[in-house]
A and B are shown apart, each in its own frame.
Chain A
Amino acid sequence: MTGRIAAFRADLASARGIPWVAPAIGLLAALSIYPLVFSVKVSLTAQAGGFSFEHYIRLLTDKFFLISVWQTALYSFFALSIEFLLGLSLALLVDSLARGRAIFRAGLLVPMLLPPVVAAVAWRLIYNPQFGVLNGMLRMAGFDTSHLTWTSGEGAAMFSVILVDIWEWTPFLFLLLSAGLQAIPQEPIEAARIDGASRWQILWDVILPLLKPTIALALLLRAMDLMRIFDQIFILTQGGPGFATETVSLYIYRTAFRFYNFGYAAAMSFVGLALTTVFARGLLRFMRVQ
């Protein structure tokens, strides 16, 4: 009996906390849980009303969606690979400097500090075939730029938008990897050096394995960001020329806010979410990181 009373009192004591956490729970429910549940419902509602999988079925045959998925994957793969290699190289380089690390770090971070929209507008001007600084400099160097259009050819446009991403977001990977390098204990590196390991062996067999959790985290964060790329492409090419740089996010935006088809846009968002989750799990598994 005494035990029951004690348990009841404990329950009562914990229940007293409910009013204090209720606003936070209410806010979470209103801003996160309810919209999520509502968008699931919207994605499963036919245009004519009623429960239906029609939006998900349409996804399988919508070539614009399938192309945008492929292009998003392509964009993410190339941007992520190059950003990672550059970020790691820069982090190793700056880490090896005896002096001036802080200056290099601050300088390298500048592109990342710009809002993506500002960076995209600046690059749109830089890429302008006639009046842009890029072609202007190439002309000064004696190159014929009359057909160098950067964002207007179908192949060149994808290359150009990836280049802007690399310019802006390599510093992010540099920052994370640089922090990771600083956290590595020096003893294993010193031991390897005493044992006669070459620089390459130290990097490959000691530094990279120790850096693996940071690499996994950096790749994961950047990959998730890349898979929902929107702002830079919207400003630089609007998905064009034709459909050459259209990504999933851009197509979802158009479908929801230009074509007023929220159900189909919600279905695309959930498929996008599923693909991102599968990719993230795959990456973590590949890197054998918990």
Chain B
Amino acid sequence: MGVDRVTGRLHSKIVRTLFVAFILIASACSLVSCGKSGNSLVIAVNAGVEGSALKAAAQQWAEQKGIRAEVVELPYANLFEKELLDLTSHTGAYDVVMLDDPWFPRLAEHLEVLPKEPDGDFVKPALDVCRLPYKTGAYRALPYVGNSQVFFYRGDLFEKYKMGKPDTWQHVLEAAKKIGAGEKMYGYVMRAAPGNAVVADFMPLLWAFGGEMFDAAEMPALTKPEAIEALKFMIELGKYAPPGYTGFNADEVAAHLLQSTAVMSINWPAWIAAMDNPAKSNVVGKVEFAVMPSAKAPGVGELGSWLVAVPAGGKNKAAAFEFIHWATDPERQKEAAMRGNPPTRKSVFERQDLREKYRSYPVQLKSLEGSRPRPRTAQWNEIENAFGIYLSQANSGSLTPEEAMQKAEAEIRQILARGR
């Protein structure tokens, strides 16, 4: 009995000690987190060339302000997941988020409206995608990286074969045949892996052939003759592409250009620097850059800008807004450009020192000014996935272009119906 009582007392003592320890730890944790939210800025960035400039800017800003900048670098797909979960559940894990422009329609309602409107120096298409609704609504982000597709081609070989410049898609096809056969190279290389890759390479063709993804009533318009013709042309171009291109992403496309095994391709400006880097390239000074070729309509490149924004659930909004305006001002854009990021301000594109460093800047600016974003719908990820599957199947030969477009249109209709 006596032993029981002693054990009981000991037991309740231990429970009490554990309870007090728990309370102390919990209070310490909450104090630490309180301190954090007041004196630090948590920034989610893409782990890549686009994110590294913002990371450097954050550290510079933190030093100036005497606060702590915590940069969370995440790979492309994980960045979207984390931001989606944080923004929709308003956890306030991030004070500033970096986002790809196709994600904006999905995330925009969870982003804070900018307290002051951006100035007119930003290139318009890059700025329009920061508004909800598109082009007309309030600004909820600022454009940080001015990405739009550029046409890469071997200037030396075009000159050798007296092919002029690749200004129309028909011309591109002829050059792919002639130069490819003459040089025993692949005339053209493209991305046709399912999903984002194949859709990104198809959109400039669709627009150039006069097609549209959606009609005026916002219903898919992929069975229209223009769209089918564009897909047929893509498959025709694929005959001059390396085998296995239906699994290619941007890195495989760039590798073919860098190794001098392909003549032309569409790609993102991030790959421009590599072309003239002797450590990576066998084609230094030989690759030229152009805006998208035209067909029935003028050539248009797809916009792929990176934006910076402040989550509605953020804990440090005033500092976050101050930071994103500072990071996108002309001087900081110039510094980011020196680190390899395409700017979003016209004045930065036109700086002489930068034009001397980057010979592609006039083309990049022209491409960005004429670029178009992916359709502005919150269901774009699902639509792009379904569309990409059928485009990829058409390119691998398991569906005819007509079948692929019919199936894609039916699937997209279902996706839209589910979202309404």
Contact = CB atoms under 8 A, between A and B. Distances in A.
Contacts of A243: 194, 389, 393
B194 A239 contact: yes
B261 A152 contact: no
B392 A242 contact: yes
Contact of A241 (B77, B385, B392): B392
B382 interface: yes
A45 interface: no
Nearest to A19: B15
A257 B385 CA distance: 13
A154 to B, nearest CB: 6
Interface stretch (B38-46, B237-245, B311-319, B355-363): B237-245
B381 interface: yes
A241 B193 contact: yes
Which of A147, A157, A242, A243 has the largest count of B CB atoms less than 10 A from its CB? A242
Contacts of A240: 193-195, 246-247, 389, 392
B243 A146 contact: yes
Interface in B109-137: none
A149 B80 contact: no
Nearest to A9: B4
A153 interface: yes
A259 B243 contact: no
Interface string B366-381: 0000000000000101
B195 A238 contact: yes
A16 B247 contact: no
B321 interface: no
B84 interface: yes
Nearest to A254: B385
A47 interface: yes
Name which of A130, A147, A148, A254 has the most chain B CB atoms within 10 A of its CB.
A130
B47 interface: no
Chain B residues touching A, majority SS: helix
Nearest to B198: A240
A253 to B, nearest CB: 9
B202 interface: no
A152 B243 contact: yes
A129 interface: yes
B193 A238 contact: yes
B81 interface: yes
A130 B261 CA distance: 9
B30 to A, nearest CB: 19
Interface residues of B, number: 38
A260 B393 contact: no
Interface in A109-151: 128-131, 146-151
B84 A257 contact: yes
A242 B243 contact: no
Contact of A242 (B84, B255, B382, B389): B389
Contacts of A130: 242, 256, 259, 261
A260 B8 CA distance: 52
Interface in A224-271: 237-243, 254, 257-261
Pick from A238, A240, A243, A254 the residue with the most CB of B within 10 Å. A240
Given A130-B261, A241-B194, A241-B247, A257 B80 contact: yes
Contacts of A151: 244, 247
Contacts of A154: 393, 396, 398
A152 B245 contact: yes
Nearest to B262: A130
A258 B106 CA distance: 10
A151 B248 CA distance: 10
Contact of B106 (A16, A147, A237, A260): A260
Contacts of B192: 241
A149 B244 contact: yes
A64 B390 CA distance: 12
Given A151-B244, A152-B243, A260-B106, A16 B11 contact: yes
Contacts of A157: 247
A154 B398 CA distance: 8
Given A47-B418, A258-B381, A149 B243 contact: yes
Nearest to A145: B243
A237 B197 CA distance: 12
B256 A241 contact: no
Nearest to B82: A257
A64 B252 CA distance: 27
B183 to A, nearest CB: 15
A259 B389 contact: no
A152 B246 contact: yes
Contacts of B77: 257-258
Given A149-B243, A152-B396, A242 B80 contact: no
Contacts of A254: 385
A149 B192 CA distance: 14
A129 B247 CA distance: 10
A150 B244 contact: yes
Q: Which of B81, B194, B244, B382 neighbours the largest number of chain A CB atoms within 10 Å of its CB?
A: B244
B389 to A, nearest CB: 5
Contacts of B385: 254, 258-259
Contact of A152 (B88, B244, B381, B418): B244
B84 A129 contact: no
Which 10 A-B pairs rank lowest in CB-CB distance, beginning with the nearest? Answer: A149-B244, A242-B393, A152-B244, A240-B194, A152-B247, A259-B382, A129-B244, A241-B246, A257-B81, A258-B381
Given A241-B193, A257-B80, 18 more contacts: A16-B11, A19-B15, A64-B389, A130-B256, A151-B247, A152-B243, A152-B244, A154-B393, A238-B195, A240-B246, A241-B395, A242-B389, A243-B393, A258-B77, A258-B381, A258-B382, A259-B381, A260-B88
20 contacts: A129-B244, A130-B256, A151-B247, A152-B245, A152-B396, A154-B393, A154-B398, A239-B194, A240-B389, A240-B392, A241-B193, A241-B194, A241-B246, A242-B392, A242-B398, A243-B194, A257-B77, A259-B379, A259-B381, A260-B84
Interface of B: 8, 11, 15, 77, 80-81, 84, 88, 106, 192-195, 242-247, 252, 255-256, 259, 261, 379, 381-382, 385-386, 389-390, 392-393, 395-396, 398-399, 418
